[in-house]
Amino acid sequence: MATASLIQVRCGYSPRFSNNLRNGAYVGPACSTSYAPSSSSCSCCSSQGLNFSSGVNSYWKNQGLRAQAMNTTTQGNFASPRGIMNGSNEPDHLLVLVHGILASPGDWTYVQAELKKRLGRNFLIYASASNTYTKTFSGIDGAGKRLADEVMQVVEKTEGLKRISFLAHSLGGLFARYAVAVLYSENALHTSQSNDLIDSTLPRSIRRGTIAGLDPINFITLATPHLGVRGRKQLPFLLGIPFLEKLAPPVAPILVGRTGSQLFLTDGKPDKPPLLLRMASDCEDGKFISALGAFRCRTIYANVSYDHMVGWRTSSIRREQELVKPPRRSLDGYKHVVDVEYCPPISSDGPHFPPEAAKAKEAAQNEPTVQNTVEYHEIVEEEMIHGLQQLGWKKVDVSFHSAFWPFFAHNNIHVKNEWFHNAGAGVIAHVADSLKQQEFSCLITASL
């Protein structure tokens, strides 16, 4: 088994805020963090451990702003892969929608219409089309690069854009995490007054950066397997049966290609960290943590149950012992949204890939047994959490236990089909109000 020093809990717990709503409007504090990485040299191919960047200087600032104070119109701007249509007032905030595995931009039909109605003319809503259907099998890195190229094309063809946000479902959240690292430019905003939105005590030279040359605002994922799908009940349709969970990793690459091995953390040579572990760091593959840290707010929505594709632990970036029984009552105005937790950044030296991890990976690849599979997963999962918890997160728990079709939770959470998955309408309303709240915060602060 992994040594205690590797898998011991190194996490601070933050209180839960379950009732931050008044009169149907969300009024809880918004995430607002700044990430200031130190030197980020990394040797990802060394089995002796990774020299990930350390010395994270993150600052957590909560803001209480009423979503209903927004004075927006219902006449919005809409973008699709077929083209971009602008109204008389040009939008300046690009919102990129990223679908999941074996999916297409059509999965966002309801969300696009709802966000267009709720957000107003400041937003240009664009549904990504670069990774449709079986293209999602080509690997997280390949899909992430295609997404980055697509976003750059939109930015270059659209004048007047100043801000950018991402909303991604399932595997699309991992594509988006890779893409923002490709699009990240360090400290490019240091001359902009908008940097004061983060923390005025930070030196202006180290306050954030840009994504595709734009000011990054929101990074939101819905039921995304941030820690992969390896481990007990991380892929719920296997029912937690040890034999099936042992069989899944070698079969996954056959069914879903390179993406499957990356999700099960078996990609690459034994002495090289899996991609998802590298994506919890700043390393030679990309400044993944710096790119995520550039966003003013990072929000993850997670199904607490009935999601057959993605487990609660991996979608909410939590350890097993951090999963507590969620409330059963929905927040006012947001049906099936049951809890909101604010997790400030935790100082950490980042993830590592020690020799015992390399040995466990080799055993899991060559002779998968329940014992060595569990050992390898425990090591890597803990290290991924160490990397990702360097940033602050807003974690939103969703429960469809009272829905007519609760077992559709994975598709309900983003209303894939308006007729079959409309139980998730309250989740989309919560997403829209969070986006609107953060936009209002930016506008108010910029006017000061």
102 conformational bin, left if phi > 0, alpha if psi -120 to 50, beta if neither: left
pLDDT at 388: 97
Ordered structural domains, the chain, with CATH: 93-187+204-264+289-351+391-446 (3.40.50)
Write the pLDDT tens digit of every residue in 330-371. 999 999 999 999 999 998 888 899 888 888 888 877 776 667
Q: What is the pTM of this model?
A: 0.78
Q: What is the pLDDT of residues 226-250, one digit of tens each?
A: 999 876 556 654 555 565 666 667 6
Between CA 389 and CA 385 the distance in angstroms is 6
Give the model's pLDDT for residue 365. Answer: 77
Q: Which residue has the higher pLDDT, 45 or 125?
A: 125
Supply the pLDDT for residue 245: 61
Query: What percent of the chain has pLDDT above 70?
Result: 69
Predicted pLDDT of residue 223:
97
Least confident of 152-161, 165-174, 223-232: 223-232
Region 119-145: what's the mean pLDDT?
A: 96
Nearest CA-CA partner of 27 in 39, 35, 15, 19 = 19
Q: Has residue 76 got a pLDDT over 50?
A: no
pLDDT at 401 over 50: yes
For residue 13, pLDDT beyond 80: no
pLDDT in tens, 281-325: 999 999 999 999 999 999 999 999 999 889 999 999 999 899 988
Higher pLDDT, 190 or 222: 222
433: pLDDT strictly greater than 60: yes
Residue that wins the pLDDT comparison between 161 and 270: 161
Whether 404 has a pLDDT exceeding 50, the answer reads yes
**Which has the minimum average pLDDT: 22-26, 270-274, 290-294?**
22-26
pLDDT of residue 229: 85
Confidence check: pLDDT of 48 > 70 = no
- Measured distance CA(15)–CA(33) in Å, rounded: 18
Residue 422 has pLDDT above 50, yes or no: yes
Q: Assign 136 a pLDDT band (cuts: 50, 70, 90).
A: very high
Q: How confident is the model at residue 61 (pLDDT cuts 50, 70, 90)?
A: very low
